[in-house]
Structure 1
Amino acid sequence: MGKNSAKLDIIAIPAGIQPLTTFLQQWQQSPNFVNKVPQGLIMMGLGGSLSLNYSVGDVILYKKCGLMDYSQENKGSCDQFLTERLFKQLGNKTIIGEGISSDRIICSAEEKLLLGKKYQADVVDMEGYALLNWSEKLNIPVAMIRVISDGCQQDLPDLTGAFTEDGSLRPFIIARQMLTNPSNSIHLISSSLRSLQVLKEVSNKILDNG
């Protein structure tokens, strides 16, 4: 989501570190970007909890975001001013935390808990680090909001291969994997619907105050 002095522009992005990196590089060359470089960017989406402290529907504002398989020292920082402004807009229920980005969906509850301890992170996503890495080179302030869509004790159906190389969903693969694990799938659908409703409410608050 790009932010300029006149209004907020909503931009859909692909899922995944490499697909988003490619998307951003292409966007950077487009006339829309060149003629109107954003004064700030707000990334919004869902994420998986890596901590027992956070559950489905919780809203996390990132302070930092790192890349899985890298050290904690490689975490990039979100813009403090933009983050604090969003925190005031969204209210006291919003949580300031840290995230890591993975190139795959983390499906195992056991792995989520291990990742949280290893990286001292609260949320896992698939795009945050790519945006920070790109925006820092252009000195564009970034804030990131994640709504928890699955708890750290929640196993997901095996969604390996759920995305194409360009970050698009493979609906048939998702449907097939869900059918093989109906219990976890029903839980995921329920938690996703709840988190998407919260994300919609958060988006409306930001747009109303934009």
Structure 2
Amino acid sequence: MHSLDRKTLRERALVALRSAILSGHYRPGDHLGEVEIASRLSISRGTVREALRHLQQEGLVTPGMRGMLRVRSLSREQVHELFRVRGALEGLAVAEIVQSPRHANAVAELTAALEKLEAGNDDLPERIEADLSFHALLCELSGNSVLLDTWRHLEGPIRVVVMSAAVENRSTLMSAAHHRPIVEAIERGDAEGATAVLKEHMSAAVELLTSTN
């Protein structure tokens, strides 16, 4: 029972810390002090340490000076690199979907994901989830498990970049209209066109997400 309680506390700490980072309570570069977090969440430092280690694996947290953990912060060049890799992965996903015998089913699933984006409300975390779910689905529908796993490793840093951007820029990126041309090109069976749209999508994302406004 003690082991179960410990696991439950660790999961609660993980959810609380992840939410604090993704809501902007902790900003990129902020130091994550074990003592302060343990006191705020009324849990042990060991439990906090385990949760932070997990967030480090997710790419949300990174070691700073003297090993102190901080919310990950990416330079403009790192954001460019991140989205170039992401664009290459999703471009490959699009090509594999177009060639797949499940092409029609994939289009139907992506259209349903678009509807979730369309129905998105003003709740920012929900809009971010709908947006990232669309792109994760794109990779999943490729049928390439290595591609999906690789994309998942980029998800933490992507979240940090999105949360660091100006609110109005994030809203533009997460609109259904911004994603619909990708699905339309896939539906036409136009892998080259869909890849071109994705490249534009990623370029626009970098410009908006790194804009200081």
Please say whether Structure 1 and Structure 2 have the same fold, judged by a TM-score greater than 0.5: no
**More relative contact order in 1 or in 2 (CA 8 Å, sep 6+)?**
1
Structure 1 or 2: larger strand share? 1
Bigger-Rg structure (1/2): 2
TM bucket normalised to smaller: under 0.3
